[in-house]
Amino acid sequence: SRCQRFNFRTISVTDIIKGMAQILDQEGIEATEEALALVAREAQGSFRDALSLLDQVIAFRAEQIVAADVAEILGIAGRDCFGRLVAEILDRNPAKALNLLHELFRHGYDPDQFVLDMIQYLRNLIVVRTVPTDQRSEGMIDAPPSEIEEMDQVAGRATPEELQNLFGMLLKAENEIKRSGNPWVAAEMTVLRMGYAPRIVDLAELVRRIDCLPGSEAPRPVAGLPEGPARKSARQRREP
């Protein structure tokens, strides 16, 4: 017998937003991009699920749809905290970061979903920080333009190494939170560890700065790094 193979894939958030925007335009209903982005993200790649969620929102807000209404109707209020939460972590302000986490807790955010969403958010920050705007391929960051602009501002607070360090901490914490008898406590400790994490400085960049200091005695050579001019000249002065 003959058979056919179809490789299905999920639809990007951007494509779902465009599809819903076209439908709403035909129906004469106004909606902000942020509101449609919330609906699209909750649909998790399914356009049919996105339309079902959109129907629920329209039933309550038939004239104009904004992000706050979508968050309240779908029970996902507090998701806008992620940018502020990461910003406080990068500014090494664990107290404010913990308060924002409790804001998510008050909105009924699931701790397992919290860590998954944070992992995805940090992944997007790393891409934004690493890949210039004109070099990003389509769909590399599955988010609306307004959200990407916000990510640009947050990512600018840290080096790529710092973001990678926080990303690794979240990956390790994912299993801890899932296995914990009190997952929100595990999530709190994860946020505090991230808030107290030491700043990561690129060693090669640090050595380069030392080499550029005028008349400074250079430190001992670092394994795996090229010897700069300051260290080389200092070593030659010490040699007979």
Lowest mean pLDDT segment, chosen from 16-30, 70-84, 198-212: 198-212
With CA atoms as reference, report the closest residue to 64 among 38, 36, 40, 41. 36
With CA atoms as reference, report the closest residue to 163 among 133, 118, 132, 213. 118
pTM value is: 0.70
Tokens of 151: 């990510």
**Burial status of residue 158 (CB atoms within 10 A of its CB: 0-12, 13-18, 19 or more):** buried
DSSP string computed for 220-236: PPPTTSPPPHHHHHHHH
CB-based contact 117:79 (threshold 8 Å): yes
Residue 178 CA: distances (Å) to CA of 38, 101, 187:
25, 17, 10
CB-based contact 162:90 (threshold 8 Å): yes
Higher-confidence residue of 173 and 225: namely 173
* pLDDT reading at 234 higher than 50: no
Question: CA-CA distance, 50 to 12, in Å (whole number)?
Answer: 12
Q: What is the mean pLDDT of residues 64-74?
A: 83
Question: CA-CA distance, 122 to 99, in Å (whole number)?
Answer: 19
